[in-house]
Amino acid sequence: MNKTDKFPLQHRDINWLSFNDRVLQEAADESNPLYERLKFIAIFSSNLDEYFRVRVSQLRQLKRVDKSIRKKLALRPSKFVKQLLVKVAAQQEELGTIFFDQIVPELKENNIHLMDFETLQGKYEKLAQKYYLDQLKKSLHIDIVEASKSSEIFLENQHLYYLVTFENEQEYGIVNIPSSDHERFIELAQEKETHFIAFLDDLIKLNLLDLFPDKEITNCYEIKLSRDAELYLDQELEGTLADLIHESLSQRDKGQATRLLYDKRMPKKVKKNLRKSLGLGKIDMVAGGTYHNFDDFFSFPDPTKNKQLHAAPLKVIKHKALENATSYFDLISEKDQLVHFPFMSFDYVQNFIDQASQDDAVEEIKISLYRVADESALTDALLRALKNGKKVTVFVEAKARFDEENNIKWGRIFEEHGARVIYSYPRIKVHSKVLLVLRNENGKLKRYAYIGTGNFNAKTSKIYCDHGLFTAHKKITKDLLRTFKVLQGELIIPRASHLLISPFTTRSTIESLIRREIELADTGKGGFITAKMNQLEDPGMIKLLYKASQAGVKIKLIVRGFSRLIPQLTGISENIEMTSIVDRFLEHGRIYKFHNDGDPIMYTGSADWMSRNLDRRIEVLTPVYDQDIFKELDDILNIQLQDNVKARLHTPEEDNPKVQATTDQKKIRSQVEIYNYLLEKHK
């Protein structure tokens, strides 16, 4: 915890691990269906891998700063990394306990035997050897490495390997585990209704003598190396930023090591030799279990097809206005419309673009794409619009981490078909989720907009909870047009009076709204703020929230991920309540509500209260003017504030206690309640 006078902050990277604790709590929750628990284990593992590749990597980069400068700035990256590793080690232990002591036995109770090595080695050894010879052997590569000396061996990013020790301790072997080319989980046998599944890893382990016939093998240990995910671009090189990023993508898999995950059974001497071979430091070594890459459990098979082991399928809600609308333009002209994912279909967004692509009156479509789906009805509709002679402007964020290659690919496809494609700016990302359609009506251009909290991506819309607003509001769409002119380089400042646009007006407007609540509290009129976001990190915003709390403003926050704000501190933040909801779907929507002396103001859109979202990204938050939509979002916000099933409390201790229902309270699981609320509203 960092402290200034009455201005305490959690360290964001330590607090992020508390968020991943909440994911692990869902994996441990026996009320979740078995395959949902496996999903949460996979999410936990995937999150942790990205954490080391991005956040820990950035902390390590701080070590390159001159020591005297680090001291002045109170930068202590090594200390923080050591703290992180202690917490990560505890989480890994808990993960192992949940998996081996709870989930594996429950799989067995349901006729799915995930075999350990000893079981495989016994009754199923011949089947394992046959599979190895027929399917695996040709994909394996071995290296012999001289111990205690630096080596030319290169471990690919995130790939699995076995380190094999020999009687001769002066050398060891490395063999790849080709889980990216083969299924990680192999069903070797079925006996009546019982299915026997083996780890791919163990099939290789069982046949190591075949790979090292001239060696006396003593043991083997699974290892995995994670590498820095940042793209360090040389801006002096010629070419567009998109070209530079595309050329740099191959560097990601060759970047600096950020974590060597190894089997904790590995002897100290072997660890030391491995470190020297790979040129790693002690801080790079992280102990793990027998198996790594648990994110592979996203694709763990269910040969029983038992519906009881999975979350019940979600019946998609049909939007009562949009579902049968022959013309979205007529409908949106009459009234704003609101959609909610994944409870409703993303087809409503894609249909809007498709109608625009075929409507003779539509002249132009403008869209910002942050994470482009590989192929979708949306991309088809944009290509159809180009074919039909529409002017299409696409802003592609080429720096959307881990989606750069696909985004650039689609940018080039759109360019080839005649679109005007604009890529990222060097020092700013475009994170807004906005669409603008210009339509000629009675000789005048009328504007139609879609402003969302989530990406234009049909696949992620099925797993992320997001909101999207369709509007033809003249002033909102005028501001959005000016936003696109900024992206197109035609304006420097959008001068918007209704939309909040980062990095121009979001911070100043939100701060003014918070100060307004402080003034109301100071005059005895009360002050109230309710806000939902993904992360809360910006020190200036947090300091102002502390001041609001100290003035008596009642603040209720829902922050799914990490938060640097510490609630419930006496004299500092006792008027701030903060919860987090981790459930079946990823909470991703942002809603900000200010009481404003009985005339409440609400915004929704793409921006969290993080410094990057306020100051270094193009973000769009829209005011909610339609009173029906205002009430709908307000109701959703209130349902989430009442969650006492999946909600966890943010506390100074970061221990993630459940929000407890009193004996007379109804159990409220907000995602289920919101679904039922929308189902009733749109029946």
Is 398 within 8 Å of 423 (Cβ atoms)?
A: yes
Q: Is 371 labeled as ligand-binding?
A: yes
**3-state SS assignment for residue 304:** coil
Which tokens hold the place of 345? 């279909």
The set of residues, in sequence order, having a beta carbon less than 8 Å from that of 211 and lying 6+ positions away, is 140, 142, 173, 175, 204
Q: Across-strand partners of 391? A: 364
Residue 437's identity, in one-letter code, is V
User: Binding site annotation covers 450?
Assistant: no
Q: Would you give the DSSP letter of residue 428?
A: B
CA 73 to chain centre: 30
Q: Where are the alpha helices (DSSP H) in 492-646?
A: 506-522, 539-551, 611-615, 627-641
Catalytic residue among 195, 292, 319, 431: 431
Query: Would the annotation count 515 as a binding residue?
Result: no
3-class SS letters over 10-72: CCHHHHHHHHHHHHHHHHHCCCCCHHHHHHHHHHHHHHHHHHHHHHHHHHHHHCCCCHHHHHH
The tokens describing 608, both together, are 């969290």
Among 289, 73, 293, 280, which Cα is nearest to 177's? 293
560 belongs to an annotated ligand binding site: yes
- CA 529 to centroid of chain Cα atoms: 26
Residue 451 sits at the vertex; the CA angle it makes with 448 and 452, to the nearest 5 degrees, is 145
Three-class secondary structure of residue 236 per DSSP: coil
Q: What are phi and psi of 679, to 5 degrees?
A: -60, -45
* 514 contacts 601 by C-beta, under 8 angstroms: no
Q: Per DSSP, what are the bridge partners of residue 224?
A: 160, 261
Question: Using CA atoms, how far apart are residues 415 and 394, in angstroms rounded to an integer?
Answer: 9
Helix axes of 34-51 and 77-97: crossing angle, nearest 10 degrees? 160
Beta strand residue intervals within 228-290, DSSP E: 257-263, 285-288
Q: Are 564 and 591 in contact (CB under 8 A)?
A: no
Question: Would the annotation count 447 as a binding residue?
Answer: no
Query: For residues 59, 65, 71 and 77, what is the CA-based torsion angle, rounded to 10 degrees?
Result: 10
DSSP H or E run through 128: helix 125-131
329 backbone dihedrals φ, ψ, rounded to 5° = -65, -45
Q: Is 431 a catalytic residue?
A: yes
- C-alpha distances in angstroms, 117 versus 114, 183, 197, 202, 267? 10, 17, 11, 6, 20
Give the integer Cα–Cα distance in Å for 426 and 117. 50
Q: How far apart are CA 208 and CA 128, in angstroms?
A: 12
Tell me which H or E stretch contains 81: helix 77-97
- Which residue bears the tokens 């000396």? 149
Q: What is the DSSP string of 310-353?
A: SPPPPPPBPPTTTTT-S-HHHHHHHS-EEEEETTB-THHHHHHH
**Backbone phi, then psi, for 221, in 5-degree steps?**
-140, 130
Tell me whether residue 588 is annotated as binding: yes
Judge residue 476's burial from the number of C-beta atoms within 10 Å of its C-beta, 0-12 exposed, 13-18 middle, 19 or more buried.
buried
Give the tokens for residue 544: 């102002």
**CA distances from residue 6 to 14, 518, 542, 569, 679 in whole angstroms, order as listed:** 20, 17, 11, 10, 46
**Binding-site residues for ATP, please?**
47, 464, 560, 588
State the binding site for Mg(2+): 371, 401
* Binding residue positions: 47, 371, 401, 464, 560, 588
Residues with catalytic roles = 431
